Amino acid sequence: MSAPAVCRSCGAADLHPVLSLGSTPLANSLLTADQLAGPEPAYPLDLCLCRVCALVQITETVPPDVLFRDYLYFSSFSDTMLRHAEELANRLTADRGLGAESLVAEAASNDGYLLGFYRALGVPVLGIEPARNVALVAEERGIPTIAEFFDARLAQRLAAEGRRPDVFHANNVLAHVADLNGFVEGIAIVLAEGGEAVIEAPYVKEMIDRCEFDTIYHEHLCYFSLTALDALFERHGLVVADVERIPVHGGSLRVFVRRRGGPVARGVHDLRADEAGWCVSDPAPYEAFAARVAQLGQELTALLGRLKSEGRTIAAYGAAAKGSTLLNVFGIGTETLDFVVDRSTVKIGRYMPGVHLRIDPPERLLEEMPDYLLLLAWNLADEIMSQQDEYRTRGGRFIVPVPVPEVVT
């Protein structure tokens, strides 16, 4: 395993390799039946740590046009994400006194699932979504959407047009950005005076503590601590004014970013100190995480192997990117799992990359009643188990793979 020449954020060359997951296919490149016999590109999936700014990052950069121009992830298929978005929109509209003269913009706005709640409250919105197929869905729902990648150039154009948001959202996108500094420079350019950027990203400490290795895939170039985010925003005249830890996506940070000069909440200072305490810029905690990933693989494959040897049938729930990482890294495919189900209608009928498991609608569970259901979308375990209560009532059992394999009856 080798590290890239310099850090994606600070440009330092002091990068330390911590984990290699081998070469895997692109996690969201779900295949059609016609594509199964064709070549399937795979790319190295190696993780390293910048010893200078504490940014954890992968070494490979797949071109954004390859990853995002035609995208099969729609946020609105998750009830959990919809509730999360509605609560956030209601809160910020009230806290910041947003109204008809305000503007809320979002980078990587997906199908408009968040901005739609602002629009319902009478707040003008603007989506920025590079996946053309997803942007079209947002437009059809009445969300004005620019089908481009957000960067400094687009920010300058919007600012020149007078479209400067009072609230700028970037939920689960910063980790996807190859040009981190260009993206953050864009925020600094476009944000209205007194405006605020609200940014959510999976928290690297949760990834370490809960062995969430399957959040590592080629779309996720970076894995953030507050320490790394501080350094990134400070470079562009911005400051993290407040921070919250939230449960979405297995544990994330929500940071409130403003221009320099205002007060900084006590919680920011406390979390900085906490990260210094667990040695955020030292390789040791990350290397311990890598050892736990190897152990998890042994435990999960042993559990599934035992169940198969007993004649049990096993299916999986969630054709999610994290599921693709877990299956491909641990070598779990059609020899173990019969099929995968997912609620997303755009995924049904396709096949998981690498392992070529067919994706079917959830109704197949009650038709075939597999003995066990491996929850690949474990971050939505409560939602899935609630939706599949009939499956459980009939005797079906769930396997939650992370942080340790657990059978839930």
Q: Rg of the chain's alpha carbons, rounded to an integer? A: 21
pTM: 0.92
Q: For 285-408, which CATH class?
A: alpha beta
Q: What is the DSSP letter of 201?
A: E
Quote the longest CA-to-CA distance of the chain: 67
The SS3 assignment for 342 reads coil
What is the CATH T-level fold of the domain 68-263, as seen in this structure? Rossmann fold (3.40.50)
Counting beta carbons within 10 angstroms of the beta carbon of residue 361, is it exposed (0 to 12), middle (13 to 18) or buried (19 or more)?
middle
* Closest C-alpha among 256, 268, 261, 124 to residue 197: 256
Q: Return the domain boundaries, the chain.
A: 68-263, 285-408
Tens-of-pLDDT digits for all 409 residues of the chain?
544 579 999 999 989 999 999 999 999 899 999 999 999 999 999 999 999 999 999 999 998 777 755 555 555 557 778 898 999 999 999 999 999 999 999 999 999 999 999 999 999 999 999 988 889 999 999 999 999 999 999 999 999 999 999 999 999 999 999 999 999 999 999 999 999 999 999 999 999 999 999 999 999 999 999 999 999 999 999 999 999 999 887 899 999 999 998 899 999 999 999 999 999 999 999 999 999 999 999 999 999 999 999 999 999 999 999 999 999 999 999 999 999 999 988 899 999 999 999 999 999 999 999 999 999 999 889 989 999 999 999 999 999 999 999 999 8
Using alpha carbons, list the distances in angstroms from residue 205 to 51, 175, 201, 212, 285: 16, 15, 12, 10, 9
* Closest C-alpha among 356, 302, 294, 292 to residue 324: 356
365 DSSP β-pair partners = none
CA distance 44 to 192: 40
